[in-house]
Structure 1
Amino acid sequence: MAEYKAPLRDIRFVLNEVFEADQLWQNLAGLNGAIDAETADAMLEEAGKITSQTIAPLNRNGDEEGAKWDNGVVTTPTGFKDAYQTYAEGGWVGLSGNPEFGGLGMPKTLGVQVEEMLYGANNSFALYVALTAGSTLALDAHGSEELKQTYLPNMYAGTWAGTMCLTEPHAGTDLGIIRTKAVPEADGSYSVTGTKIFITGGEHDLTENIIHLVLAKLPDAPAGPKGISLFLVPKFLVNADGSLGERNSVSCGSIEHKMGIKASATCVMNFDGAKGFLIGELNKGLNAMFTMMNYERLSIGIQGIGCSEASYQSAVAYARERIQSRAPTGAQQPDKAADPIIVHPDVRRMLLTIKAMTEGSRAFSTYVGSQLDISKFSDDAAAKKKAEDLVALLTPVAKAFFTDVGLENCVHGQQVFGGHGYIREWGQEQLVRDVRIAQIYEGTNGIQALDLMGRKTVANDGAFFKQFADEIKGFIADNGDQALAEFVQPLAAALANLEELTAQVIDRSKTNPNEVGAASVEYLHVFGYTAYAYMWAKMAKVALAKLDQDGDGFYQAKLSTGRFFVKRLLPRIQSLSAAVRSGSEPLFELSAEQF
């Protein structure tokens, strides 16, 4: 198994050359000059070192050893605690946190690169960090000044960790039917009682305190999602002087035994009259929680990118070394018994598929990150509103498409190894197991597709989509030169197809509500491939302009990979589009009894 190395060259290409992040950051008033290209480059270099050298070596051991539960106490695998402390001491846990409370205040365009490295190095380790980042985001946006002063500095410092407690045994997607109760107390706090499941990092030994964000309902709350409130429930209560007080009435009943991410403690959490504190307004807990969902769902999507990159690095190293059979065109290494398998067309198909989709994903995650930055830091009202609309539209695409592609890529990487890909010691089977969860949690990919098709497209008659389409049309209009035609023309055709598909589903849904759900998954994939065509056209434009300074062949390789995407992967939209156009009828011909 090749050792994971942070793909810094390609990250810098996307961040600095394609999206010109430094120029973006300087134009965002809310960043207050907190970041420039030199600082970002130094941070990327350091992030590459800590993920590659400190965190990645724990990945296999973490999988073999797993998190352990003993009478309510959860222990992470050997090395995790020391690595977490090293990571926290570098300020990485609070990378995008509010500087007013000790965070570094870095933009999401930088944050997505660090997240990818973290997921590529070690999925399980990354999740402890991701959940803390998500919970601090919700707390910073909706918590009282007292709560923020009390909890955020230690959470950003990595001294305390955070969780999000949403799911219950009977309530997953439908959070409106949760049973966890919060009863008001005389001192202004609440007594929280209930059971939450699938809580990532609900209990562990990495930090001295764990801060749970818990969805619950007051006894007289309205029915359904309109009656949900959000509460902060610490593992240990905090004294007035900031020191830790007595243990709160919250405990870990067990941890799940899972297919993958075994070093990540997935907990059953029991709240037995635990003291909690209201975040935001009563009965508006979902609004508070969804403040951070765009960030969290993008983060989970990036898990697919990180796993893809790790799988690719390992597979390409193996393909260069493993010798089997001769090349179809004749012996490439006649002095050896056979040629390396990288000479074979099918192996190249798999490697190029991983490479093209991973690099497209990396560009798209940076693009979505830039929209998050504009929506958060811009003082231009129109730009801010457009970015907010694009974030709403593109987040379900990023989460679902990155992770669907991530599984496909990891399976391809495993396949390159042949029988060795099925054997534990080579690491590919772990990547397949680890990446699989990303399609399920933070809202299953089917739900993401329904969100894209229903709420983000049909519900507003395609208004969000039109903004994205208009941006792409502007790029096409500005780049009509012949040199870029091989990328721009397929992009234009893909966009026209997506526009037609969007209009068809919107029209059909007016008379048949089943059309939205029937079209959603395939539609999301058509959208994803079209968005990647846009990303590849943008990358190709930069690469073409820099061919005369291509000393190491990087830009030529970028163009060749882009051509593979356009010619071999983008055509997938044709079959997907045909499935969407077939409508909902084929799904409903069978009665329930006939299944």
Structure 2
Amino acid sequence: MAKEYVDINTLKYLLYQVHALDDLFGFERYEGHDRPSMDMFLDAIKDFADRDLFPFFKEMDDDPAGFDNGEVRVHEQVAVMMKKGGEMGVICGPLDYDQGGLQIPFMVHTAATYILDAANNHLPGYATLTLGAAELIVHFANQNLKDTYVPNMLLGAWGGTMCLTEPQAGSSLSDITTKATLTDEGYYKISGQKIFISGGDYQYVENIVHLVLARIDGAPEGTKGISLFVVPKNRVETDGSLVGNDVKTLSDFEKMGQRGFATTHLGFGDSDDCQGWLVGEANQGLKYMFLMMNDARIGVGRGAAAIAMAAYQASLQYAKERAQGRKISETGKKDPGEDQCLIIEHPDVRRMLFLQKAIAEGSLSLILLAAKYHDLQRSVSDHSEKEKYQLLLEIITPMVKTYPAEAGALAVSNGLQVLGGYGFCSDFILQQYYRDIRIFSIYEGTTGIQSQDLLGRKVLMNNGKALQLLIEEIGTTIAVASDYKDLQEWAATLKGKLTMIHEVLVYLKTFANKENYERYLSDANLFMEFLSYVVIGWNWLEMAYVAKQALDNKDAAYSEAFYESKIHTMKFYFKYELTKTNALAETLMHKEVLTQKMEKEFLV
């Protein structure tokens, strides 16, 4: 195992200096908090992660969740995660005071759960899914459901899940068939199956509260007829006791990664005795669930960014300790008589490490930016400002979910390469990070789904207003960075990419304008990659100009080497990653259409 899994200095640099967390404390919502109290919270989370998460990371992979005699068995640290998660505010943190929460900024909660994810990505999901389920109940359910379920969920005594996917429907939620039948007693009888339910069953909580999408008898077809229900594993009797609610675990999926995080197949109502309670209004379930799904998509990006960081830390440690080969001399030859050098001195190894650093830290900045927009849209009072931050959050969320997962997998792959043959061996942790991160591009909607959401909905929404706001934000950073002579070249490069975005969209929109939407969306995943490179480039330029400002002001918060490394990594990203937009733009605007099914069929 590596000695470290996260860079706390970079995390706090991004929180305070780049994304200006202190500004949030000026809003009424967060006036009860300040930097010292938030630092204490984050330091406590780091201590918890050091003690109770990181040491068990490999062990949970070696001894994965399992299914036996109708029950899921998980590692005993899940009990610690839920208990401490409840005590420390991991579960309740972002909720309002009157909802039982700590009302801390979502930025801080995101930073805290990022630390936990980096330490052991198998554990935090049990707590954060419980928070998401509790948040749905708090926002949309009646008072009785809130009183019955939320307190125990926030304590970590009960777990929570979101149940969307079904065996025959997959990601196509309009095709779900789980049924809800109203009874004379006011509850609904639930029947159906759900698959890929993370944290769907385990032995260390007294109850698990499932938020289930189902179709009421006679409801409209498609997504318009979907409702949301609270369906506990054990229902609560009038005396407070628990009784089984005909929710059966049919299996636990055996996975190639995240093996310590239970992923279940659930059956509801096999004995015709599964009771569920409607959340909010009938046929509004998908609308309600998107509150949890959008936060969950940020959480997926956060988890992938954390794994990329942990893998980078492990690769960096290895490169600083492993001696192999010799540096090439000025004559172009190696002297076999010289001592071997550390592999971190080899340019190609340094290239791979800088790639990991650029992706991991760029992803973290993007995640915190999304959390900042989340906080601002909840805090500002002006309607136009609230709309601005909501639209900005909407348009970056598909990238927040996708870039850390896709680029993160590339980063971890490069980390494995740094270790050479040892990277492929189970004695070293890189292979586990590689297996773990692969699921993140599938969680909460695959890359293809996120890409179609970005190009098909978010780019077009409000007549392109969200994208225009994003471009204006990027333009503000370009203008500030241009004040520094050393950064003018890089600012100009990014400005050119904004022109490229316009050119690509003018071309693609010709198909949308002709209602040829399949052609418009056929390369949506490439557009996702293209726009993500630009957005991460923006984040890196911002990190660089803040670092340059700190150097000019002789800011002693971090070392000179720390600040200079941010500027250097920005340059690396612009040279090695941002330039990929050129090829992507060429492909996006190419006249050939090769992936749509045509009258003349070509073998695939």
For the aligned pair, the TM-score class normalised by the smaller chain equals: over 0.9
Counterpart of 2:541 (choices 531, 537, 543) is 537
Task: Work out whether residues 99 and 138 of structure 2, in 8 Å CA contact, stay in contact via their aligned partners in 1.
Answer: no
Contact 1:514–1:584, Cα closer than 8 Å, also in 2: no
Contact kept, 8 Å, 2:325 with 2:340, in 1: the verdict is yes
Shift of 1:95: 1.7
Among candidates 174, 182, 186, match of residue 184 of structure 1: 182
| Structure 2 match to 1:495 | 498
TM-aligned CA deviation for residue 115 of structure 1: 2.1
- What is the CA-CA distance between 1:557 and the residue it aligns to? 1.2
Give the whole-Å Cα distance in 2 for the aligned partners of 1:475 and 1:258. Answer: 42
Q: Is 1:231 equivalent to 2:229 in the alignment?
A: yes
Aligned-partner SS, 2:325 = coil
Q: Is 2:7 the partner of 1:7?
A: yes
* SS at structure 2 position matched to 1:130: helix
CA distance in 1, matches of 2:450, 2:103: 29
Larger deviation, residues 276-285 vs 549-558: 549-558
* Partners of 1:122 and 1:233 in 2: CA distance: 29
Letter aligned with residue 88 of structure 2: G
8 Å contact 2:416–2:430 — kept in the other structure? yes
**Which residue of structure 2 lines up, in the alignment, with residue 438 of structure 1?**
440
* SS of structure 1 residue aligned to 2:505: helix
> How many angstroms does 1:336 deviate by?
7.0
Q: CA RMSD in A?
A: 1.9
Q: Deviations over 1:2-42 (max 9, x none)?
A: 13343211111001011111113323x3x151321111111
What pairs with 1:511-526 in structure 2 (closer than 5 Å)? 511=514, 512-526=516-530
- Counting only pairs closer than 5 Å after superposition, residues 446-485 of structure 1 correspond to structure 2 as 446-458=448-460, 460-481=462-483, 482-485=485-488
Counterpart AA for 2:491 = V
| 1:288-342 deviations in Å (ceiling 9; x for gaps) | 1012221110100111101101100100110111111101247999997411111
Aligned residue in 2 for 1:208? 206
Aligned ranges for residues 569-588 of structure 1 at < 5 Å?
569-583=577-591, 585-588=593-596
Q: Is the 8 A contact 1:5 1:52 kept in 2?
A: no
- Checking the alignment, whether the CA contact within 8 Å between 1:6 and 1:51 is kept in structure 2 is no
Q: How far has the Cα of 1:127 moved from its partner?
A: 1.7
Aligned to 1:508: 511
1:75 aligns with 2:73: yes
- SS of aligned partner of 2:93: coil
What's the CA shift for 1:448? 0.1
Q: Match of 1:321? A: 321
Name the aligned partner's letter for residue 361 of structure 1.
S
Q: Would the alpha carbon gap of residues 325 and 38 (structure 1) be closer, same or farther in structure 2, given more than 3 Å must change?
A: same
Structure 2: how far apart are the matches of 1:188 and 1:75?
A: 34
- 1:73-117, CA deviations, whole angstroms, 9 ceiling, x for partnerless residues? 111124332343233322222121232232222221112211211
1: distance between equivalents of 2:317 and 2:338? Answer: 18
Distance 1:9 1:459, change over 3 A: closer
Q: State the one-letter code of the partner of 2:548.
A: L
Residue matched to 2:603: 594
Q: For residues 113 and 60 of structure 1, do their structure 2 counterparts lie closer, same or farther at Cα, with a shift above 3 Å needed?
A: same
CA spacing shift, 1:216–1:589, aligned 2, 3 Å: closer
How big is the shift at 1:149?
1.9
Structure 2 counterpart of 1:41: 39
Is the 1:311–1:428 Cα contact (8 Å) retained in structure 2?
A: yes
Give the SS at the match of 2:53: helix
CA distance in 2, matches of 1:347, 1:436: 23
2:567 to 546, 559, 564: 559
Letter in structure 2 aligned against 1:534: W
Q: Does 1:168 align with 2:195?
A: no
- The equivalences for 1:279-428 within 5 A come to 279-329=279-329, 337-428=339-430
1:444-502 Cα distance to aligned partner (Å, 9 max, x none): 01100000000111354422101111222233234432233133112211222112212
What secondary structure does 1:154 align onto?
helix
The Cα of 1:583 is off from its aligned counterpart by 4.9
**What SS does the corresponding residue of 1:425 show, helix, strand or coil?**
coil
Equivalent residues in 2 for 1:152-167 (5 A)?
152-167=150-165
Question: What are the superposed Cα offsets for residues 376-423 of structure 1, whole Å, 9 maximum, x if unpaired?
Answer: 222121111011111111111110111101111111111111111111
Unaligned runs of 5+ in 1: none
The secondary structure found in structure 1 opposite 2:33 is: coil
In 2, are the aligned partners of 1:142 and 1:280 still within 8 Å (CA)? yes
Closer/same/farther in 2, CA of residues 476 and 268 from structure 1, 3 Å limit: same
Deviation at 1:588, TM superposition (A): 3.4
Residues 211 and 231 of structure 2 are in contact (CA less than 8 Å); yes or no, is this contact kept in structure 1?
Answer: yes
Judge conservation of contact 2:25–2:34 (CA < 8 Å) in 1: yes
Report the equivalent of 1:139. Answer: 137
Is the 8 Å Cα contact of residues 371 and 388 (structure 1) preserved in structure 2? yes
Provide closer, same or farther for how the CA distance between residues 106 and 94 of structure 1 changes in structure 2, counting only shifts above 3 A. same
- Structure 2 residue identity aligned to 1:135: A
1:260 aligns with 257
- Residue 276 of structure 1 is matched in structure 2 by 276
User: C-alpha separation between the residues in 2 aligned to 1:282 and 1:332?
Assistant: 74
Name segments (4+ residues, structure 1) moved above 6 Å: 330-336
Q: What is the number of residues matched between the two proteins?
A: 592
TM-score by length of 1: 0.96
* CA-CA distance at 1:584 after TM superposition: 6.1
Name structure 2 gaps, 5 residues minimum: none
| Aligned-partner residue type, residue 275 of structure 2 | K
CA drift of 1:46 comes to 1.1
- What per-residue deviation string (whole Å, max 9, x for no partner) do you get for residues 147-194 of structure 1? 112211211111111001111001122111111101111121111011
